[in-house]
Chain A
Amino acid sequence: MKRILATLFAFAILFSASTVFAGQPFPDVSLIGKLSSDQKAYLGVSGDTVKVSDIKGDYLFIEAYSMYCPICQRDAAEVNEVYEKITAIDPQVRVKFIGLALGNTAYEVKFYQKKYSVPFPLFVDEDYAVHKALGEVGTPSFYIVKLGPKPETLYMKEGELKDKEALLKMIKATAGLK
Chain B
Amino acid sequence: MRKTLFATLVALLLAFPALAQKPTTYPVGQQTPRDSVLKVAVGDLAPDFELPSITGKKVRLSDYRGKSNVVISFVPAAWTPVCSDQWPGYNIAQEMFKEFDTVLIGISVDNTPSQYAWSEAMNTISFPVLSDFWPHGAVSESYGVLRSDGVSERALFILDKQGVIQYIDVHDINARPDLGVLVEELAKLK
Chain A residues in the interface with B (C-beta under 8 A): 1-2, 5-6, 8-9, 11-16, 19, 21, 66-70, 73-74, 103, 105-108, 111, 115, 135, 137-138, 157-159
Contact of B12 among A8, A70, A106 (CB under 8 A): A8
Find chain A residues with CB under 8 A from B12 CB.
Answer: 8, 11-12
B32 at the A/B interface (Cβ < 8 Å)? no
Find chain A residues with CB under 8 A from B44 CB.
Answer: none
Among residues of B, the one whose C-beta sits closest to the C-beta of A115 is B92
A34 to chain B, nearest CB (A): 13
Assess whether B14 is in contact with A21, with CB atoms less than 8 Å apart: yes
Say yes or no: A15-B15 contact (C-beta < 8 A), given A70-B122, A111-B93. yes
How far is B14's CA from A59's CA once the two chains are assembled, in angstroms?
A: 23
Find chain B residues with CB under 8 A from A68 CB.
Answer: 85-86, 88-89, 176
How far is B16's CA from A1's CA once the two chains are assembled, in angstroms?
A: 22
**B146-190 contacts to A (CB < 8 Å):** 176, 178-180, 183
Find chain B residues with CB under 8 A from A103 CB.
Answer: 176
Contact of A16 among B15, B122, B123, B176 (CB under 8 A): B15
Chain B residues in the interface with A (C-beta under 8 A): 1, 4-5, 7-8, 11-12, 14-23, 85-86, 88-89, 92-93, 96, 121-123, 176, 178-180, 183
A107 to chain B, nearest CB (A): 3
Assess whether A12 is in contact with B8, with CB atoms less than 8 Å apart: yes
Assess whether A138 is in contact with B22, with CB atoms less than 8 Å apart: yes
Contact of A108 among B16, B22, B89, B121 (CB under 8 A): B89
How far is B12's CA from A8's CA once the two chains are assembled, in angstroms?
A: 8
Say yes or no: A105-B88 contact (C-beta < 8 A), given A16-B11, A16-B18. no
Assess whether B179 is in contact with A108, with CB atoms less than 8 Å apart: yes
Say yes or no: A9-B178 contact (C-beta < 8 A), given A111-B96, A137-B18. no
Find chain A residues with CB under 8 A from B123 CB.
Answer: 70, 73-74
Say yes or no: A158-B17 contact (C-beta < 8 A), given A5-B5, A111-B96, A115-B92. yes
Main secondary structure, interface of A, reads helix
How far is B122's CA from A128's CA once the two chains are assembled, in angstroms?
A: 22
Say yes or no: A12-B180 contact (C-beta < 8 A), given A70-B123, A73-B92. no
Find chain A residues with CB under 8 A from B21 CB.
Answer: 138, 158-159
Question: 6 shortest A-B CB distances, which residue pairs?
Answer: A107-B180, A12-B11, A68-B89, A159-B21, A15-B15, A16-B15
How far is B1's CA from A73's CA once the two chains are assembled, in angstroms?
A: 46
Among residues of A, the one whose C-beta sits closest to the C-beta of B89 is A68
A-B contacts, 23 listed (Cβ < 8 Å): A5-B5, A5-B8, A9-B4, A9-B11, A12-B12, A15-B19, A19-B18, A21-B14, A70-B121, A70-B123, A73-B92, A74-B123, A103-B176, A105-B180, A106-B180, A107-B179, A108-B89, A111-B96, A115-B93, A138-B21, A158-B17, A159-B17, A159-B20
Find chain A residues with CB under 8 A from B180 CB.
Answer: 105-108
Find chain B residues with CB under 8 A from A111 CB.
Answer: 93, 96, 179
How far is B95's CA from A111's CA once the two chains are assembled, in angstroms?
A: 11
How far is B95's CA from A115's CA once the two chains are assembled, in angstroms?
A: 10
Find chain A residues with CB under 8 A from B7 CB.
Answer: 9
Find chain A residues with CB under 8 A from B20 CB.
Answer: 159
